[in-house]
């Protein structure tokens, strides 16, 4: 057990040096980090909201709006499947009401065909054998289609996952650094943005539905004769007035947000803000065909129910790219571009809780946490040296390496350090010391029983290993549960605690043992200094 092959020594030294390499940027100021060579790491440990200060937002996906949006999509799908030729089904009165889609089949002989076609839109939830996604009922020719309970649960899960990704892309696109985005429960999202003192603009950005469509304008219709729930209306401010114009547009869009590949804020020839975009997938062909067939017709670009731009087709647009112009401010044009790139939300996000943590409070927390860690480390070092002499020195060196490995791991993994995370580091110090104390006491006991130094060390490590591994495994399980069920600072504590388990086992069983093996082989003592 005290024999260390060359490759083992090199591996241990390599792990310690890697930890030091990753930890180094945390010891340098910003100017020194900027001057590091390209191959050197420059990332420091990310500080959480409670240490750096910033904004905390708790967002909730609106379940009623989610269901309403999905029912509207289902309603359009039902319309498309019923009007398929040949033998299209005649119906009327299609509407979303009472948590379902309702319509009347005009011909009694077509009721079974209507059921069959609507049933084709249903699928098993969770795969073969699962509950069907749609419930279909009919009475006197009136059909009612609703989502099953299993499908509603699935929609909530999908909506939360989609919302997290959209929020992440929007926050990243806004230039915000080191945001922390996590799910909480079945329909909530925690967003932490360190260093952001005023989240007003960010809230406006992430609350936008982001529903983007390009629709053909009906030039012959009078907008005042239509309701908002018939042909779709949008409003746009003119550049030279505060009045608004209403457009009557066809309900079926030419393009949707899913057809946009890129979007960025730019300037036109008059140095006015605009949005440049490119299309993907079917987009270039569909838009090219549309502009070829509708010369001199107008189309409107609609974002969240508002017309942000309208133009007439002068010539076919076949390049798959274009620009959106209007009375934009630079900030608004950039926000629209971010929303287009990030995609649309499945439902509106409500701000359930909002708070701002001052930077001064974070600095106080860092100072208090650093002081507590330093005092704890100093007291432990004094105790170990007084109790175990030279071996206590070995344990203190390993303890310092342990902390260095934790900081290096946090930097390398891009993990966030929170105030509870500092508590996790302090707890790790205690765990590491406990492991060394168990080993040293077992060695001392074996040596008192008359065994040789080498035999005492080997048996001491062997007998203490099961106890130490069991304790650390239990701690690791607890950390995993905290990470899985917790959020925010609790996860920060779980991360540092989990990393600390691995580094403590490494330093206690490998690094300290290597120091002791080298000392025994070099000094060859007849008695152990414990």
Q: What string of DSSP letters covers 407-461?
A: HHHHHHHTPEE-HHHHHHHHHHHHHHHHHHHHHHHHHHHHHHTT--HHHHHHHHH
- Asked whether 19 and 409 are in contact (CB, 8 A), the reply is yes
Q: Are residues 515 and 395 in the same domain?
A: yes
Q: Are residues 316 and 364 in the same domain?
A: no
In this predicted structure, what is the pLDDT of residue 240?
A: 38
The three-class DSSP label of residue 213 is: strand
Residue 120: which H helix or E strand, with range?
none
| Sheet containing 134-139: order of strands | 91-97, 100-105, 142-147, 134-139
Q: Are residues 366 and 330 in the same domain?
A: no
How many domains is the chain partitioned into structurally? 3
Angle between helices 453-485 and 512-523 (to 10 degrees): 170
Last residue of a domain, one of 293, 323, 353: 353
Show Cβ contacts of residue 467 under 8 Å, excluding neighbours closer than 6 positions: 438
Last residue of a domain, one of 353, 381, 402: 353
Q: Are residues 246 and 329 in the same domain?
A: yes
Q: Are residues 313 and 281 in the same domain?
A: yes
C-alpha dihedral sign at 165, 166, 171, 172: positive
d(CA 338, CA 264): 7
Examine residue 297 and state whether it is found in any structural domain, yes or no.
yes
Show Cβ contacts of residue 312 under 8 Å, excluding neighbours closer than 6 positions: 296, 297, 298
- Asked whether 398 and 515 are in contact (CB, 8 A), the reply is yes
Alpha helices in 145-258 (DSSP H): 149-173, 200-207
Examine residue 168 and state whether it is found in any structural domain, yes or no.
no
pTM greater than 0.85? no
Residue 304: closest CA among 250, 333, 345: 345
Examine residue 243 and state whether it is found in any structural domain, yes or no.
yes
CB atoms within 10 A of CB 59: 24
Q: Are residues 487 and 371 in the same domain?
A: yes
Examine residue 164 and state whether it is found in any structural domain, yes or no.
no
Q: Are residues 324 and 222 in the same domain?
A: yes
Residue 479: which H helix or E strand, with range?
helix 453-485
Joined tokens for residue 81: 């499947």
In this predicted structure, what is the pLDDT of residue 359?
A: 66
In this predicted structure, what is the pLDDT of residue 239?
A: 36
Examine residue 171 and state whether it is found in any structural domain, yes or no.
no
d(CA 505, CA 496): 14
Residue 55: closest CA among 194, 209, 231, 251: 194
Q: Are residues 337 and 381 in the same domain?
A: no
Q: Are residues 235 and 213 in the same domain?
A: yes
Q: Are residues 91 and 17 in the same domain?
A: no
Show Cβ contacts of residue 455 under 8 Å, excluding neighbours closer than 6 positions: 446
What CATH number does the domain containing 405 carry? 1.20.1640.10
Examine residue 502 and state whether it is found in any structural domain, yes or no.
yes
- Asked whether 272 and 325 are in contact (CB, 8 A), the reply is yes
Q: Are residues 393 and 477 in the same domain?
A: yes
C-alpha dihedral sign at 161, 187, 485, 167: positive
What CATH number does the domain containing 124 carry? 3.30.1360
Last residue of a domain, one of 325, 353, 381: 353
Show Cβ contacts of residue 59 under 8 Å, excluding neighbours closer than 6 positions: 163, 167, 188, 189, 190, 191, 206, 349, 350, 351, 352
In this predicted structure, what is the pLDDT of residue 42?
A: 79
d(CA 244, CA 175): 33
The one-digit pLDDT tens for each residue of the chain (530 residues) are 566 778 888 998 999 999 999 998 888 887 888 777 877 887 888 887 777 888 889 999 988 888 988 998 899 889 888 988 778 889 998 889 888 999 999 999 999 999 999 999 998 887 766 788 899 998 999 999 999 999 998 889 889 998 998 888 888 887 776 788 888 888 889 888 887 888 888 888 888 888 888 888 887 766 555 544 443 444 433 333 344 677 788 877 888 888 888 888 888 888 888 888 899 888 899 989 989 998 888 888 888 888 888 888 888 888 888 888 877 788 888 888 888 888 888 888 999 999 887 766 667 777 887 888 888 888 888 988 998 888 899 999 999 999 999 999 998 888 888 888 888 888 888 888 888 888 888 888 888 888 887 888 888 888 888 888 888 899 999 999 988 887 767 888 899 999 999 999 999 888 988 888 888 888 887 777 66
Domain extent, residue 226, equals: 208-353
């Amino acid at each position: 057990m005290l024999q260390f092959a060359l490759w083992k020594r090199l591996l241990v030294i390599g792990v310690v040096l890697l930890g030091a390499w990753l930890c180094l940027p945390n010891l340098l100021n910003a100017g020194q980090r900027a001057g590091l060579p390209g191959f050197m790491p420059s990332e420091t440990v990310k500080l959480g909201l409670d240490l750096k200060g910033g904004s905390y937002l708790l967002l909730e996906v609106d379940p009623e709006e989610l269901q309403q949006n999905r029912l509207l999509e289902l309603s359009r799908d039902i319309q498309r499947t019923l009007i398929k030729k040949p033998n299209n089904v005649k119906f009327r009165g299609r509407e979303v009401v009472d948590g379902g889609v309702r319509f009347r089949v005009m011909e009694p002989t077509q009721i079974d065909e209507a059921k069959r076609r609507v049933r084709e839109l249903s699928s098993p939830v969770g795969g073969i054998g699962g509950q069907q996604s749609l419930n279909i009922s009919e009475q006197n020719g009136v059909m009612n289609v609703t989502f099953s309970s299993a499908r509603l649960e699935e929609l909530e899960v999908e909506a939360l996952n989609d919302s997290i990704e959209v929020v992440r892309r929007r926050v990243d696109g806004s230039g915000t650094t080191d945001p922390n985005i996590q799910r909480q429960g079945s329909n909530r999202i925690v967003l932490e943005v360190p260093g952001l003192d005023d989240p007003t603009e960010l809230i406006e950005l992430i609350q936008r539905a982001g529903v983007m469509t390009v629709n053909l304008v009906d030039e012959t219709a009078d907008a005042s004769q239509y309701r908002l729930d018939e042909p779709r209306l949008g409003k746009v401010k003119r550049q030279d007035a505060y009045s608004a114009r209403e457009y009557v547009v066809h309900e079926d869009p030419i393009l949707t947000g899913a057809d946009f590949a890129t979007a960025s804020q730019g300037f036109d020839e008059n140095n006015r803000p605009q949005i440049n975009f490119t299309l993907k997938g079917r987009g270039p062909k569909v838009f090219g065909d549309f502009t070829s067939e509708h010369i001199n017709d107008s189309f409107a670009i609609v974002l969240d129910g508002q017309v942000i731009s309208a133009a007439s087709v002068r010539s076919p647009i076949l390049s798959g790219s274009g620009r959106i112009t209007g009375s934009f401010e630079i900030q608004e044009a950039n926000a629209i571009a971010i929303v287009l790139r990030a995609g649309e939300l499945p439902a509106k996000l409500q701000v359930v809780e909002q708070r701002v943590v001052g930077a001064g409070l974070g600095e106080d927390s860092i100072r208090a946490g650093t002081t507590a860690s330093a005092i704890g480390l100093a007291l432990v070092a004094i105790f170990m040296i007084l109790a175990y002499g030279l071996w206590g020195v070995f344990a203190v060196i390993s303890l310092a390496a342990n902390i260095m490995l934790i900081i290096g791991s946090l930097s390398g993994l891009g993990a966030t350090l929170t105030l509870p995370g500092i508590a996790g580091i302090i707890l790790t110090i205690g765990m590491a010391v406990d492991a060394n104390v168990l080993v040293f006491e077992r060695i001392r006991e074996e040596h008192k029983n008359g065994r040789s130094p080498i035999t005492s060390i080997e048996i001491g490590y062997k007998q203490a290993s099961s106890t130490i591994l069991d304790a650390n495994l239990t701690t690791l399980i607890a950390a995993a549960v905290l990470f899985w069920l917790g959020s925010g600072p609790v996860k920060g504590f779980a991360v540092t605690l989990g990393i600390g388990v691995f580094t403590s086992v490494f330093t206690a069983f490998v690094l300290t043992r290597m120091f002791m093996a080298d000392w025994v082989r070099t000094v060859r003592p007849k008695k152990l200094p414990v």
